[in-house]
Amino acid sequence: MDRQYLLEELERIVGIDGVRHRPVDLMVYEYDGSVDGAVDTAAPTAVVLPRSTDQVAAIVRLAKRAGLPVVARGAGTGLSGGAVAQNGGIIVSLTRMDRVLEVNTLDRTALVEPGVINLELSDGVKGQGLFFAPDPSSQKACTIGGNVAENSGGPHCLKYGVTTNHILALELVLPDGGVIWTQVARDGYGGLDLTAAVVGSEGMFGIVTKALVRLTPIPAATTVMLAAFGSLESASHAVTSIIAAGNLPASLEMMDNLTIQAVEPAYHAGYPLDAAAVLLIETDGHPTEVAESVEEIDALCRTAGATSMRRADTARERDLLWKGRKMALAAMGRLAPNYYLHDTVVPRSRLPETLDTVETIARHHKLKIANVFHAGDGNLHPLMLFDRRTPGDVERVLEASHDLIHACVEFGGTLSGEHGIGTEKRDYMTLIFSEDDLRAMAGLKQAFDPEQRFNPNKVIPTGYMCGEVKQLHIQAMQQQHGIVPV
């Protein structure tokens, strides 16, 4: 299809102001939030900003006629390359589909479009005593559609779960331009759970145009505790002790001294500058339950070696402590011009040795690595600090990243807790999954998208799609039966 004709057809669908095609306009869509080198940049043919499901479906049908790839994009805050158009084609930016269509306080649900900002949804239903529980650190900017694509988490996923636990149904535009609802939201619904399959699929199966989300009642009481420790090891032991005792905080976050040195002078959150690590522990629920949990956690932290304990009971005190945690990434600019935020997971019981390994990797590669992460579920977020203007710095960061991923897998962990796979970790999938696992994933992708046009070359390593899958299967059968190809 002629490019000019394509652009004219796109403008016919969404209007002239809804199509971006000049090179200077496309530049901002070549990236997401990941570090250069970890994810290759790429320019799309065009970016389209629809306002309705019908417009999205029409765009997809046009792309099918033109044989072009389609990549859905939210706010672009992703960190694994999921919204980068590696094969060119059309980026469907959903930021203009930003309406909360309905709030049902009886069923505690909201029907929203994909461009709704995460935090704005919670702010909008606060007056009804409700909130949307998934709270990524980027919640002031990231969208519900992006949260669905990456199955985002956040500090409170320890108690409340990640995005998939809060999505009841989805309206989805399929690669052929058809529109479906993935599930009728009701208790005890039978059949295959396509909603769960779509959440976390990184836009490879379809484009979400509406989401029915679960809302959660705001707890009656909330307390945030700040526990300081003289070593990362003692802080790690406190984490495992709290969970092992059967106490499930709403969140359980850890920050090391390097992070504290960046955050405290900038935001004055009250983190002790001489602590090797601090734990930020939030408990919520019925006032009596919270009081009992706080006492138990206090005792467990002191037994593990806490050097000081502080409680924040007022909203202002809690907000200040959380501001330090939520703004930790922004504060890293005090320490280095650039950082690479990593995302791996290890069992809680392996935290002490994992953090020792992170320190060893930092020394080996001559890098500063700050640790600020979701300790309660073992979701690490090492911040590798560097200066991209210094020759060799990006390469050292990527080498350190490689070592870190392999170490976490060896400790019994996995590749990502909430940032997704995208292209950043696509080629590491073989460390976790068998050939049969990857063939099954490829088969599911094939069922939704037989022409492989929706967000191609993401998540599944090269060699497992379409004819590649068949060839691998033939090779496996030959090997099994001792057949040597001529």
Residue 455 lies in a domain: yes
Residue 132 lies in a domain: yes
pLDDT at position 473 is 47
Residue 402 lies in a domain: no
Please say which residue of 185, 217, 249 terminates a domain: 217
Q: Are residues 150 and 171 in the same domain?
A: yes
Q: Are residues 193 and 223 in the same domain?
A: no
As beta bridge partners, residue 217 has 130
Radius of gyration of the chain (CA): 23
pLDDT at position 468 is 53
pLDDT at position 188 is 61
Please say which residue of 61, 93, 125 terminates a domain: 93
Residue 451 lies in a domain: yes
Residue 116 lies in a domain: yes
Residue 248: which CATH number?
A: 3.30.70.2190
Q: What is the largest CA-CA distance in the chain?
A: 75
Q: Are residues 68 and 149 in the same domain?
A: no
Give the pLDDT means over successive 10-residue stretches in the chain (486 positions): 94 98 96 79 96 98 97 96 95 98 97 98 98 94 98 96 96 98 69 93 98 98 97 97 96 98 96 98 97 97 98 92 93 94 94 96 97 96 95 94 97 95 96 95 96 96 67 47 42
pLDDT at position 479 is 52
As beta bridge partners, residue 383 has 341, 370
pLDDT at position 36 is 67
Residue 172: which CATH number?
A: 3.30.465.10
**Helix/strand/coil (H/E/C) assignment for every residue in the chain:** CCHHHHHHHHHHHHCHHHEECCHHHHHHHCCCCCCECCECCCCCCEEECCCCHHHHHHHHHHHHHHCCCEEEECCCCCCCCCCCCCCCCEEEECCCCCCEEEEECCCCEEEECCCCEHHHHHHHHHHHCEECCCCCCCCCCCEHHHHHHHCCCCCCHHHHCCHHHHEEEEEEECCCCCEEECCCCCCCCCCCCHHHHHCCCCCCCCEEEEEEEECEECCCEEEEEEEEECCHHHHHHHHHHHHHCCCCCCEEEEEEHHHHHHHHHHHCCCCCCCCCEEEEEEEEECHHHHHHHHHHHHHHHHHHCEEEEEEECCHHHHHHHHHHHHCHHHHHHHCCCEEEECCEECCHHHHHHHHHHHHHHHHHCCCEEEEEEEHHHCEECEEEEECCCCCCHHHHHHHHHHHHHHHHHHCCCECCCCCCCCCCCHHHHHHCCCHHHHHHHHHHHHHHCCCCCECCCCCCCCCCCHHHHHHHHHHHHHHHCCCCCC
Residue 403 lies in a domain: no
Residue 344 lies in a domain: no
Residue 78: which CATH number?
A: 3.30.43.10
Q: Are residues 206 and 282 in the same domain?
A: no
Sign of the CA dihedral running 329, 333, 334, 340 = positive
Q: Are residues 119 and 13 in the same domain?
A: no
Residue 366 lies in a domain: no
Q: Are residues 264 and 240 in the same domain?
A: yes
Cα–Cα nearest to 181, from 172, 191, 168, 193: 172
Q: How many folded domains does the chain comprise?
A: 4
Please say which residue of 300, 335, 370 terminates a domain: 335
Q: Are residues 67 and 124 in the same domain?
A: no
Q: Which tokens sit at 62?
A: 């046009």
Length of the chain: 486
Q: Which tokens sit at 340?
A: 């690479």
- Boundaries of domain holding 294: 219-335
Q: Are residues 213 and 224 in the same domain?
A: no
Q: Are residues 146 and 206 in the same domain?
A: yes
Cβ atoms of residues 394 and 37 within 8 Å = yes
Q: Are residues 86 and 21 in the same domain?
A: yes
How far apart CA 69 and CA 89 sit, in angstroms, is 5
Q: Are residues 84 and 137 in the same domain?
A: no
Pairing of strands 167-173, 179-181: antiparallel
Q: Are residues 206 and 254 in the same domain?
A: no
